[in-house]
Structure 1
Amino acid sequence: MPSSLSSAASADSRATPASPTRSMARARNAHSHRPRDTLSAVRLSFVLMNSLPSDASDEANPLRRLSLDQLRLRTSVKWRTYPDDVLPLWVAEMDVPLAEQVARAVTDAIALGDTGYPAGNAYAEALAEFARKRWDWDGLAVERTAIVPDVMLGIVEVLKLFTGPGDRVVVNCPVYPPFYQFVEHLDRRIVEAPLGEDQRIDFAALEDAFRRAVSGGRRAAYLLCSPHNPTGTVHTADELAAVAALADSYGVRVVVDEIHAPIVASGTAFVPYLSVPGAESGMSLMSASKAWNLAGLKAAIAVAGPAAADDLARMPPEVSHGPSHLGIIAHTAALRDGSGWLDAVLTGLDHNRRLLADLLREHLPAIRYEPAQGTYLAWLDCRALPLGDDPAAVFLERGRVALTSGTDFGTGGAGHVRLNLATSPELITEAVRRMSAALD
């Protein structure tokens, strides 16, 4: 990291937004008109691609490949929302160069002018093969899949199949903020089933939520986040089977966001929801987006269980017009050829989880943090600090570190922040230093 890393951010009260960014939607509006750097995107792409090891060695940590100066040339929401003296460890983007296999697939398509409409099943076939190799699951049938623009828009389309206006959707709070935003925009009603103190599914709370959701004879769905965002909990096979059984007993349809599925800690096994007994009527949304940092290359897959195939067949064909052809090319290449790069990222994330735990014990022992089993997100309990319901506001104003406010995640989020670990160890170290200084 450049030597300017520490000096760029004293914990003073220089100009700052009036309040921290509270959601992805609002973040896109803040500081969005900063001029682009004069270095062209084409030249930057060439520079970064040629800075990678020529053998794409699995031992090279992609999280350590880019300097802060290189990252600040990016024009995505993570790097353009706050001033340059703020370290952005908030939104779920990774600070990595594109996997070489993905970059090659996209640039080859551009060289051919292959920028038309998507066709074929290559993405679903690559996902099915990845599931066989990675999760020992051969139940992902290509004929029971559909391409959708991205995971959240896919969830919206699936919820339209399972529920109607005014129906209820159960979520395990604290949970990914767009669950609330998209469901409410769809004219459905959120029913919260809070996680337990151990950050796992509380089945008594879930059953109570199911009972309330179907009261009056309404249809209901359960929107499950697996692995869970923000806690990083990876649900076990037994837990998922219990979910399926409980949902069946109440007539609740299960829709699973599995976008973080490939990102698990060493020694942890991800279990696809549709692989457990009783999940046949469920629907999963999957994507290579989070694991290979492809949010800007839109594409996702809706996967139906055997008993939900007819439901998926009712999805309007125009939904499949939304994904980007280049996105499908990128996601397919990632799933087919990017496992070595992913393994290198996972090793780096294991290190970062341990590093953050050590740094917090040393500098901020009042913050409660347990390294998560999945995702590249850290859920920090700051309630023992005198920072109120929104510690992120204090860390931004006094420490110049941008984190995601826990209040965005619904009940149980107050007093917490979410920190993005998908960056270099140097940036994590500097962020904790600033957070500690913010309390002085």
Structure 2
Amino acid sequence: MKDLTGTRGVNPLRQLSLEQLRQRTSMKWTTYQDDVLPLWVAEMDVPVAEPVARAIHSAVERGDTGYPAGTAYGEAFADFAARRWDWDDLAVERTAIVPDVMLGIVEMLKLVSGHGDPVVVNCPVYPPFYQFIRNDGRPVVEAPLTEEGRIDLTTLEVAFQKATGRGGRPVYLLCSPHNPTGTVHTATELTDVAELARRYAVRVVADEIHAPIVAAGTSFVPYLSVPGAENSLSVMSASKAWNLAGLKAALAIAGPEAADDLARLPEEVSHGPSHLGVIAHTAALREGGAWLDSLLAGLDENRHLLGDLLSTHLPAVRCRPGQATYLAWLDCRKLALGDDPAAVFLERGRIALNSGMAFGPGGAGFVRMNLATSPEILAEGVRRMASVL
């Protein structure tokens, strides 16, 4: 991984106190009572990166708060992809701004399939995959990951066979990097997926929102960069890597053979992103590389810290260090807390974690923990978990 945007600075995860964080009014900090420590939803406990804050303030000062327009976001992402992933063929003319990743995914599904057509997912997986797909009137076909959290090609082929057997135009919704396991799919794995999808005439839509957040020594591979993925679509965003969920904007990207599909995206969809969001995301991609590198270093420290804390206080909990995202997938089945240990940790330990049950088959007995916080808060979280035993 490489970047040319600056020198690593202060760890953003160490800059805010618990008292400061509790002044926030976002979902993470207002859903539960004040005595609950929230380590659940994907919000990071960081200040806004300085280049992003500067861009937003400048836009507000000049009254630049209208409708979004132009290709600045696509251009910034293309430059970022070339620097970080050596992906030199992200064609700006095959991009479109969309409101956010999940709403963008729904629009991509509409472009390449019809109402009632099946969608294949790898479970356990990000709960909105189920929610948005089913709310759009489409059945879900599950292809479970292996025990190691990787795509099993044989299992995926069975799912493709099942999906194509239903008729219509099936789609495979790929989560890359995978949420909640933090798995980074390799170039070989993705190439095999593309070949299999071609064989069964299954279109692929990739959710790559966590792409910039990888552990040291790990390389993210954009799905559209592998052979065979030319007829696929991807949705990316700067929102996760720079904590910009409240500034809505994402980018839909088409492979060369999917350009005509993306061209059919209704014009009004581009009105959905926030103009300030587009400005913020563009600034993050263009000028936020040093801040991101500092964050990634801090997340690596927290991954190691979590491993040490679990070994000391909860040795029965199994945690495979994630290769990406700032989320940890914790196997709590040996704690004998039932299928939903998150409910027990909340009630007895006053710590909020995501219940594995919401992630579909393979999630029972698991919890998802948000590591994007200070080491002190992370340590307190594990202490609270251990207190229930």
* TM superposition score category, shorter chain reference: over 0.9
In structure 2, the residue matched to 1:4 is: none
Tell me by how many angstroms 1:119 deviates: 1.4
**Cα distance in 1, alignment partners of residues 307 and 296 from structure 2:** 17
**Cα distance in 1, alignment partners of residues 366 and 144 from structure 2:** 15
**Cα distance in 2, alignment partners of residues 311 and 180 from structure 1:** 24
Tell me by how many angstroms 1:162 deviates: 1.2
Which of the residues 373, 383, 389 maps onto 1:433? 383
Give the alignment's TM-score, normalised by structure 2: 0.98
Q: Pairwise mapping of residues 131-210 of structure 1 onto structure 2 (< 5 A)?
A: 131-210=81-160
**Cα distance in 2, alignment partners of residues 259 and 110 from structure 1:** 27
SS in 2 for 1:294: coil
1:348-383 deviations in whole A, cap 9, x for unaligned?
Answer: 000000000010011101100011000000000001
In structure 2, the residue matched to 1:83 is: 33
In structure 1, the residue matched to 2:73 is: 123
**Cα distance in 2, alignment partners of residues 326 and 346 from structure 1:** 25
Give the alignment's TM-score, normalised by structure 1: 0.87
Paired residues of 2:118 and 2:166 also in contact (CA < 8 A): no
**Cα distance in 1, alignment partners of residues 72 and 169 from structure 2:** 34
Q: Aligned pairs, how many?
A: 384
Q: Pairwise mapping of residues 7-406 of structure 1 onto structure 2 (< 5 A)?
A: 58-406=8-356
SS in 1 for 2:318: coil
| CA RMSD, 1 decimal | 0.8
Tell me by how many angstroms 1:58 deviates: 2.3
SS in 1 for 2:228: coil
Tell me by how many angstroms 1:57 deviates: 6.6
Counterpart amino acid of residue 66 in structure 2: G
1:230-259 deviations in whole A, cap 9, x for unaligned?
Answer: 000000000000000000000000000000
Tell me by how many angstroms 1:166 deviates: 1.4
**Cα distance in 2, alignment partners of residues 350 and 290 from structure 1:** 16
Structure 2: 5+ residue runs without aligned partners?
1-5
1:139-183 deviations in whole A, cap 9, x for unaligned?
Answer: 100000000000000000000011112110000000000000000
Tell me by how many angstroms 1:216 deviates: 4.0
Tell me by how many angstroms 1:118 deviates: 1.1
SS in 1 for 2:230: coil
Identity of aligned residues (%): 73
**Cα distance in 1, alignment partners of residues 14 and 87 from structure 2:** 32
Structure 1: 5+ residue runs without aligned partners?
1-55
SS in 2 for 1:271: coil
**Cα distance in 2, alignment partners of residues 282 and 403 from structure 1:** 34
SS in 1 for 2:234: strand
Counterpart amino acid of residue 358 in structure 1: D
Tell me by how many angstroms 1:59 deviates: 2.9
Paired residues of 2:356 and 2:367 also in contact (CA < 8 A): yes
**Cα distance in 2, alignment partners of residues 120 and 240 from structure 1:** 31
1:258-290 deviations in whole A, cap 9, x for unaligned?
Answer: 000000000000000000000000100000000
**Cα distance in 2, alignment partners of residues 344 and 304 from structure 1:** 31
After the TM superposition, which segments of 4 or more aligned residues of structure 1 sit over 6 Å from their partners?
none
**Cα distance in 2, alignment partners of residues 218 and 210 from structure 1:** 12
Counterpart amino acid of residue 267 in structure 1: G
